[in-house]
């Protein structure tokens, strides 16, 4: 039985507190969604490049002629030498490229070349976005392509990347977009 003269309901202060908590909750969820979007776009870019590398290897095996995947460091792009289409990556992605010295051109382009027997010049492509990093390795003997995810890439020393250059490092080039 309600008491006469006393009204039931919420005070303005209680409503403001509930709204403030709701807004803070949505802000946390929104920031998590946007950072997940970054990781998803970086993974998609790595998968696209890896797919182009595998396609180039297949084309080289079928035609018994060398086919290259050319990475443009200046404009964040890549293309397959046997095709005219140029594929562009997000401008926010930083690209580092480790290839044989003779596969790096002066116009900020490097290539990984696949030969008719399935082998390649080998190399490593590193894609970074903030503290996220995707690494694509191409085995020079088998031409195999492998993608690996490294979290917290901003904390990883450059020395670990330089150590990955194969023996005879004088014939290799570590190139990156500044």
Mean pLDDT of 64-84: 92
12-176 under CATH 3.30.56.10, yes or no: no
Nearest to 120 by CA among 97, 104, 143, 147: 143
Residues 146-155: contacts with CB under 8 Å, at least 24 apart = 147/46, 147/47, 147/50, 149/43, 153/128, 154/130, 155/131
Q: Which residues, in sequence order, are bridge partners of residue 54?
A: none
Q: What is the reported pTM?
A: 0.67
Task: List residues bridging with 68 in a β-sheet.
Answer: 113
Q: Residue 155 above 80 pLDDT?
A: no
| Mean predicted lDDT score pLDDT of the chain | 80
Closest CA to 133 of 110, 161, 100: 161
Q: Is the pLDDT of residue 135 over 80?
A: yes
């Amino acid at each position: 039985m309600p008491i006469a003269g006393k009204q039931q309901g919420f005070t303005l202060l209680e409503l403001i507190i509930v709204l403030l908590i709701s807004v803070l909750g949505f802000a946390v969820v929104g920031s998590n969604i946007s950072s997940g979007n970054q990781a998803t776009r970086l993974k998609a870019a790595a998968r696209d490049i890896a797919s182009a590398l595998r396609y180039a290897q297949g084309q080289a095996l079928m035609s018994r002629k060398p086919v290259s995947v050319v990475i443009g460091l200046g404009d964040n792009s890549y293309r397959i030498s046997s095709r005219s289409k140029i594929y562009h990556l997000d401008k926010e992605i930083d690209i580092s490229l480790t290839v044989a010295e003779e596969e790096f051109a002066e116009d900020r382009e490097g290539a990984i070349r696949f030969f008719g027997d399935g082998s390649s010049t080998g190399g490593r492509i590193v894609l970074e976005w903030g503290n996220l990093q995707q690494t694509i390795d191409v085995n020079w003997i088998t031409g195999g392509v492998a993608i690996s995810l490294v979290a917290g890439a901003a904390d990883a020393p450059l020395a670990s990347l330089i150590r990955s250059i194969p023996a005879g490092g004088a014939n290799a080039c570590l190139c990156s977009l500044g």
